[in-house]
Amino acid sequence: MTTKTRKRYAGLLAGAALLALAPTASAVELNVIMEEVPDYDIVARLTERFEAANPDIQITFDAMPYDAMRDKILTSFLAPEATYDIIIVDNPWMDEFARAGYLASLDELVKGTDGYDYEDFVAPLRAIGEVDGKIYGVPYYNYALGLIVRQDVFDAKGIAVPTTLEDYVATIKSLTEGDFYGAAMQPQQGYKIFEEWKNWLYAMGGDLMDENGNVVIDSPEAVKALEMYIDAYNNAAPPGSLNWGFDEALRAVASGKAATMMSYNWMLPTLNNPEGPAGELAGKFQLYEVPGGKAVLGAWHWAIPANAEDREAAWKFVSWITSKEVDKERVILGGAPIRTSVMTDPEVWEKGYGERYYKTVLAILEDAEPLATGNNAEELIDIVGTELNAAVAGKKSPKQALADAARRVKAALE
Amino acid sequence: MAVEAEANGMAIPASRWGLRYRLLLPLTLTLGAVLLYPLLFSFWVSLHRYQLTRLQDVRFAGLRNYLKLFEDPAFWNAILNTLTFVFGAVTLELVLGFALALLLHRLPRFRHLARAMLLTPMFVTPIAVGLMFRFLLNQQLGVLPWLLEGLGIRIDWFGPGMALFSIILIDVWQWTPFMLLLLLAGLESLPKAPFEAARIDGASAWMTFTRVTLPLMKPVLLVAIVIRGLDAFKVFEYIYAITRGGPGGSTETILFYIYKVGFRFFRMGEAAAMAYVLVAVTLALVTLLYLLMTREGRRRS
Nearest CA in chain B to A192: B244
Residue B57 inside a domain? The answer is no
Question: What is the model's pLDDT at position A3?
Answer: 46
pLDDT at position B16 is 67
User: Cα B240–B246–B248 angle (5° rounding)?
Assistant: 155
Q: Tens of pLDDT along A197-220? A: 999 999 999 999 998 889 999 999
pLDDT in tens, A96-144: 999 999 999 999 999 999 999 999 999 999 999 999 999 999 999 999 9
Strands B48-49 and A138-142: unpaired
Q: Is residue B1 part of a domain?
A: yes
B151 in the same domain as B87:
yes
Find how far residue B8's CA is from the centre of its chain. Answer: 41
Is the ipTM beyond the 0.85 threshold?
no
Q: How many domains does chain B have?
A: 2
**Is B60 a domain residue?**
no
Q: Tell me the pLDDT band of B299, cut-offs 50, 70 and 90.
A: low
Within this chain, do residues B17 and B128 fall inside the same structural domain, yes or no? no
pLDDT-derived band of residue B91, with 50, 70 and 90 as boundaries? Answer: very high
CB contact under 8 A, B158 and A252: no
| A180 Cβ under 8 Å from any chain B Cβ | no
B187 with B278, same domain? yes
Identify the DSSP state of B267.
B
Cβ contact A189–B157 (<8 Å): no
Q: How far is the alpha carbon of B261 from chain A, nearest alpha carbon, in Å? A: 8
Element (H, E) at A286: strand A285-288
B43 within a domain of the structure (yes/no): no
Confidence check: pLDDT of A146 > 50: yes
What domains can you pick out in chain A, each with its CATH number? 2-142+299-359 (3.40.190.10), 145-297+376-413 (3.40.190.10)
B129 and B22 share one domain: no
Asked if B185 and B275 sit in the same domain, the reply is yes
One domain for residues B11 and B159: no
Q: Which of A176, A186, A189, A407 to mutate to test the interface with B (most CBs of B within 10 A)?
A: A189
When pLDDT is averaged across residues A254-274 and rounded to a whole number, the result is 94
List the single residue in A with minimal CA-CA distance to B261: A379
B138-165 burial code (b ≥16 CB/10 A, e <16): bbbbbeebeeeeeeeeebbbbbbebbbe
> Would you put residue B161 in left (φ > 0), alpha (ψ -120 to 50) or beta?
left
Q: What pLDDT digit, counting tens, does each position of A35-79 carry? A: 999 899 999 999 999 999 999 999 999 999 998 999 899 999 999
Q: Are A194 and A388 in contact (CB under 8 A)?
A: yes
Shared domain for B110 and B250, answered yes or no, is yes
Domain of residue B1 covers 1-34
The predicted structure's pLDDT at residue B8: 52
Q: What is the pLDDT of residues B278-289, one digit of tens each?
A: 999 999 998 998
**Interior CA angle at A14 toward A11 and A15, to 5°?**
85
Chain B residues whose CB is inside 8 A of the A249 CB are none
CA distance B241 to B247: 14
Give the contacts of A240 (CB within 8 A, at least 6 positions apart).
B138, B139, B140, B145, B156, B157, B158, B159
- Pair B3, B140 in one domain: no
Query: What residues of chain A lie within 8 A of the CB of B248, using their CB?
Result: 189, 386, 389-393, 395-396
Which residues in chain B are closer than 8 Å to A189, comparing Cβ atoms? Answer: 243-249
Average pLDDT over residues A277-290: 95
Minimal Cα distance from B250: which residue of A?
A390
Q: Are residues B15 and B162 in the same domain?
A: no
Residues B93 and B242 in one domain: yes
Kindly report the CATH number assigned to the domain that includes residue B188. Answer: 1.10.3720.10
Instruction: Tell me phi and psi for residue A381, to 5 degrees.
Output: -60, -45
Amino acid residing at A128? I
- Residues B183 and B105 both lie in one domain: yes
Nearest CA in chain A to B55: A100
Angle at A287 between CA A286 and CA A291, to 5 degrees: 125
Residue B95 lies in a domain: yes
Of the two residues A16 and B49, the one the predictor is more confident about is B49
Q: Are residues B14 and B78 in the same domain?
A: no
Residue B47 forms part of a structural domain: no
Residue B34 has pLDDT above 50, yes or no: yes
Q: Residue range A324-351: average pLDDT?
A: 96
- Evaluate whether A30 touches A51 at the Cβ level (below 8 Å): no
Q: Please tell me the distance from the alpha carbon of residue B190 to that of residue B224, in angstroms, as a whole number.
A: 16
Q: For residue B7, tell me if it sits in a domain.
A: yes
Evaluate whether residue B48 is within a structural domain: no
User: Which of A184-188, A373-377, B52-56 is predicted with the least confidence, judged by mean pLDDT?
Assistant: B52-56
